[in-house]
Structure 1
């Protein structure tokens, strides 16, 4: 009987332990289910632009066809040329035979250019709203003389942004097979622009930050072009379209045999400025809405799992020993954070910690001098993590520190040299 009682007690203990383990495993299981979201596209990424944080990635660093999403880079170069005074929005652009002859090809997206002369603004509208390939080419020729020279400036711009894996052959995103003798020098007859989803996200981020007025163009579903001609959008997530989603105001679709059905979008959601890229949406060849459905699901995933939050860091005092002073009459310095910090976190996260980047500063130091930065200590990194520097604020001196007596400074430098201290 005693053995039986002991066996029952052991069994009860085992059951209790199992229940506890199941209880502990449940949150992890729920988290795994949340993170198992798989967007219906070959490549994808989602970022929040004010912080630069990556919120979702799927094979986002592999270059692939980008088709007409190329045109957001073309648009950036147009805005830059206007900024530099090379052209104005009212500058007339003559349409050469190359882009004009392409307008009669029914296989590529275009608008009639029979007048052979249009303003920069008209052609940019046609490029971004109707994805007019000839309009993009005409703008490239106006800015750089030839499309191939324009492509070189596009590539140089990408390198400035740290993008080195892109291959560009034209300003439109068309496959070379449509361009005949106007192909980029040395390129193959079937070459096509390739970039990664991450590359496209970085370009879109620069475009809407440097030239936010572009969204006034991309949010339009239709606009008069010339006389009876009307530009109509290919972005069916805009208001009044069949895949409408509130908050979406751009940016650009893209479709070729290589790229599949692709879309780079911008949307304002729950206080977040979001850029999403889906490349080669599944079933895109049969379902015209596939890329928009995938984008909608990706935006749903982001808004259900992430939130933007302001950490109350303004005036927060840095721990005394966090920042050391060299050559001063004190060894450490009191410091403070100069502003609040805006971050994107997993919903219900309680992480408000920052890392101080300023281990040692050199005297003399005046109160208010910037002596380092406080960077958000992000515990929920995804893929590439950030497309820019993580959220950070200045750290300033909360007191003044004088330079120490010169013999003491000299002696400390000698000691540091021999001991290897810095």
Structure 2
């Protein structure tokens, strides 16, 4: 009898606690480490280099990617980005005519540099100077554009630095708009820079510039893929010998950009891009290996890198926005008759994986977010985030720059007050 009274007393105590108030603790999967997927071994025949997926910045191959090195005329990739931005913003128009300064005209006559000669008292359209800068890497042409955009080359250098800072670049030194050694610029040097200074950037940061250029201004490829430019009656060839039809071209690599760079300090450099097998990559080679008289070594190194990426990597569609996925398990729900709720991702996600790895081999762990997993839950409430697997060297912006929010596929109704009481009482007796 005493035992029955004790049990009945316990029930009454529980019943009172429910009447006073009922608390429900959200359930959820604890965070677990995801096994790192190693990148296939890739040889980069250069002092430093990188290969990335153009769409999401995933790093597919890397060698000394955070060391700042001279980049010569690859600097023009950033300068041309700012020119395109100026056209987009209405600061310049393609038909607008620019009259180069006397100093720029004088420098343009130095054919030991990459130049298209300009004439005194003659004007050139923005389009002409843009194409000359892109295709023939004309130093005087990009200087004239820089002055048109910012009023002076020094102000344009400030804009270049500010843009890199905005993008989160970490390892760079920008001293002029063209990539020439400062020794060619005499008294036009940027204040405080050494007489023999050159622009420097890490392979990661060069790739970041190229990614922004191609993502925000895909029309750039319409110019960078051209193999020559006709400038006032004279034809000038491209320096990009990997373009189709050029001497270093490979038939299975439809390269269409971006920019070469050459100087005594930088050696032979190249930031290139190609689209094949449904996805585009960007490659950077800084100071290519090889003999000084080998004019093709940067392209040989780039082609080998590009081929290695397409041989060893494939693009995998992991999630489609707000569609169920076999990778996402249902989430446990408390405070409801419904025990689980199906979940969907908030965005479409594609990831690049070694061909030896398939999506079925991946294990995704849910990390509980701010939203409670206790009912009531509305349709598309966020229930947590997904940690994508760590693949190789990660992304340009960091180890794991893609975040996927997990949403409830449908709403979940909460228990009524009496249902809460009854559920807990019956649960106690079942125990």
Correspondences of 1:237-316 after superposition (within 5 Å): 237-245=242-250, 246-283=253-290, 285-311=292-318, 314-316=323-325
Correspondences of 1:10-409 after superposition (within 5 Å): 35=41, 37-114=42-119, 116-226=122-232, 228-245=233-250, 246-283=253-290, 285-311=292-318, 314-316=323-325, 318-321=328-331, 334-338=342-346, 340-350=348-358, 351-362=361-372, 365-378=377-390, 380-382=391-393, 384-387=394-397, 390-391=401-402, 393-400=404-411
CA spacing shift, 1:243–1:163, aligned 2, 3 Å: same
CA deviation digits over 1:340-377, x for unaligned, max 9?
A: 53211101312343343543405865213455443432
Q: How many residues align?
A: 369
CA spacing shift, 1:64–1:296, aligned 2, 3 Å: same
Structure 1 length normalisation: TM-score? 0.80
Contact 1:73 1:203 in 2 (8 A): yes
CA deviation digits over 1:220-255, x for unaligned, max 9?
A: 0012222x1223200000111011133200000000
CA spacing shift, 1:331–1:312, aligned 2, 3 Å: closer
CA spacing shift, 1:328–1:107, aligned 2, 3 Å: farther
Q: CA deviation at 1:282?
A: 1.2
Structure 2 length normalisation: TM-score? 0.79
Contact 2:51 2:282 in 1 (8 A): yes
Query: CA RMSD of the aligned region, Å?
Result: 2.7
Unaligned runs of 5+ in 1: 1-30, 407-422
Contact 1:342 1:391 in 2 (8 A): no
Counterparts of 1:211 and 1:400 in 2: how far apart (Å)? 41
Contact 2:146 2:177 in 1 (8 A): yes
CA spacing shift, 1:365–1:38, aligned 2, 3 Å: same
Contact 1:224 1:230 in 2 (8 A): yes
Counterparts of 1:58 and 1:396 in 2: how far apart (Å)? 38
Contact 2:132 2:229 in 1 (8 A): no
Contact 1:67 1:259 in 2 (8 A): yes
Q: CA deviation at 1:87?
A: 1.1
Partner secondary structure for residue 361 of structure 1: coil
Partner secondary structure for residue 286 of structure 2: strand
When Rg is computed on C-alpha atoms for both structures, the one with the higher figure is: 2
CA spacing shift, 1:213–1:364, aligned 2, 3 Å: farther
Partner secondary structure for residue 307 of structure 2: helix
Q: Which has the higher contact order (CA 8 A, sep 6+)?
A: 2
Q: CA deviation at 1:164?
A: 3.2
